Amino acid sequence: MNQPVGAQAEVVLRLRGITKRFGSLTANDAIDLDLHKGEVVALLGENGAGKSTLMSILFGHYVADEGTVEAFGQPLPPGDPAAALARGIGMVHQHFTLADNLTVLDNVMLGTESLWSWRSRRSAGRARLDRLAGAFGLAVRGDARVGDLSVGERQRVEILKALYRDARILILDEPTAVLTPQESASLRATLGRLVAEGLSIIFISHKLDEVLEIGDRVVVLRAGKVAGEVPVADADRPMLAGMMVGRAVEQPQRRQLSPGAVAVGLQGVTVLGEGGRRRLDAVDLDIRAGEIVGLAGVSGNGQSVLSDVLAGLITPDGGHYRLADEDVSRAGTRGLVARGVGRIPEDRQASGVIGDMTIPETLIAEDFRARPFSRFGVIDWRAARDFAARIVSDFDVRTERPDLNARLLSGGNMQKLLLGRALARRPRFVLANQPTRGLDVGAAAYVHQRLLAAREAGAAILLISEDLDEVLRLSDRVAVMFRGRLREADPALGPVTVERLGLMMAGQGFEHAA
């Protein structure tokens, strides 16, 4: 890849003058875009720039207000996903479109046979699925229930869905946002094979390194318009970041601090799962005031359980969780909040905001029982609104109105809201679980800046992230989880690098543990 595709290559997809309005908002504004055969176009843009909207129009989920789409020289009927599929357009959606309770094969075969056929040719389907999976290195069991799969495996199923239908054009909307570095790497390898087979790809991502690695050409959207277009060969990170945001994005820097006393201590924390399995196995960890500890690990190795313990959702079956000198193992969510723990949940949509509540309502969810938000059980909405106004301005939450429903915020702005909720109380301990997942570079930089500021204000911070660059950049110390156990990467053994972390995440250094 990264070979510029000659202008002579066939144009497989031609978008002209695509305009889409949602009420007063113009999400796409007269966008033109071409895709050539065998080309990888990387589509970049801030959160809310209109990337997903454009792709949804192309695929027929949305109907454009103006503009046309041509695939392989023929106009594509608007608002008809079936037509797009029939033309060989496959789409991997930003949010998975899979049914958890059904099998992989079910999800893949859906819609590939006539609905009026009297039987489903499942064995042929399974054979085809296995062949594709083998050919493109997308190993996944056809009979597995999708709900039991890891995020990476689901991503593979999404791609297999498209390949199963002989897609010639593949659209991937932030396919790597939730993947581990290893999974991302294997996905990139797969895409390479696909391009070699002659597929054309539109690839959306906020991870600029990735874009630079696999894209041939970068198209940048800003506020619904095409802000620029460059061949990858001529692009670099700062340049792309600047094109997206419209100004230079500065990476916040970690200053050297001398850490204070131990603020958070875990001793032998153990959580048992079904059948006595140890989901957390005697985890020890100290975090000092003014220190960021980064925690890496392949998802499913216990980071989420640890995060739930620290957030007060789970009471450990053994060991101690201490804040300063107090054992808070049984304090519960409310007790922890009261003792100055700020928590940023892993899944901001599911456990963070209450989507159908307004911004002020969502913001007081943790302490609506206390002053100033309520007295004698009566809520003071003015205090809540004032608080919300402060958070919105302090944390740069971009919203049309301060009383918008939280659901309508973009992911980045939702994240800023939750960051504000967690940090406004000047917590002693900040638990930040995947705080920049899916965020654009600008928003991610902002989150980093706020976390570093909290550190400088003396908070102890645990940063759980699958983005190893982020972990290395922000953390004073780094630990890795593997099969429920936690090990620190000892700096005495040499510099902590992505490679070293990768090996630890695969289990190196955990062998002789108890």
Which residue lies nearer to other proteins by CB, 98 or 289? Answer: 98
With a CB cutoff of 8 Å and minimum separation 6, the contacts of 461 are 287, 291, 292, 293, 429, 430, 432, 451, 454, 455
Q: Are strands 89-92 and 169-173 parallel, antiparallel or unpaired?
A: parallel
User: Residue 469 touches which of Mg ion, ligand ATP, other proteins, none (CB < 5 to 8 A by kind)?
Assistant: none
Segment 113 to 152, residues that bind other proteins, using CB under 8 A:
113-120
436 binds Mg ion (CB under 5 A): no
| Bridge partners for 172 per DSSP | 92, 203
Residue 435 touching ligand ATP (CB under 6 A): no
- Please pick, from the candidates 25, 124, 389, 506, the single residue that binds ligand ATP as defined by CB under 6 A: 25
C-alpha atoms less than 13 angstroms from C-alpha of 466 in its C-beta half-sphere: 23
Least Å from the CB of residue 477 to other proteins: 27
Residue 369's binding partner out of Mg ion, ligand ATP, other proteins, none, with CB under 5 to 8 Å set by partner kind: other proteins
- Residue 103 touching Mg ion (CB under 5 A): no
Q: How many residues lie near ligand ATP (CB under 6 A)? A: 19
Instruction: Give the one residue of 97, 315, 393, 497 binding other proteins; rule: CB under 8 A.
Output: 97
Contact partner, 48, from Mg ion, other proteins, ligand ATP, none, Cβ < 5-8 Å per class: ligand ATP
CA distances from 238 to 26, 176, 248 (A): 27, 20, 7
The contact mask relative to other proteins for 220-249 (x = CB under 8 A, - = no) is ------------------------------
> Least distance (Å) from Mg ion to the CB of residue 174?
6
Running DSSP on this structure, what letter comes out for residue 217?
A: E
52 binds Mg ion (CB under 5 A): yes
Long-range Cβ pairs for the range 333-341 (8 Å, 24+): 336/311, 336/312, 337/312, 337/366, 337/367, 337/425, 339/428, 340/425, 340/426, 340/427, 340/428, 340/429, 341/310, 341/311, 341/312, 341/427, 341/428, 341/429, 341/430, 341/431
Binder among 31, 38, 41, 52 for ligand ATP (CB under 6 A): 52
* Secondary structure letter of residue 321 according to DSSP: E
324 or 379: whose CB is closer to other proteins?
Answer: 379
Distance CA 271, CA 167 (A): 45
Binding of ligand ATP by 436 (CB under 6 A): no
Q: Where are the beta strands (DSSP E) in 291-428?
A: 291-296, 318-323, 326-327, 341-344, 374-375, 378-379
Q: Does 22 bind ligand ATP (CB under 6 A)?
A: yes
Q: In the complex, which residues of this chain contact Mg ion (CB under 5 A)?
A: 52, 94, 411, 438
Q: In the complex, which residues of this chain contact ligand ATP (CB under 6 A)?
A: 22, 25, 27, 45, 47-53, 94, 408-412, 438, 440
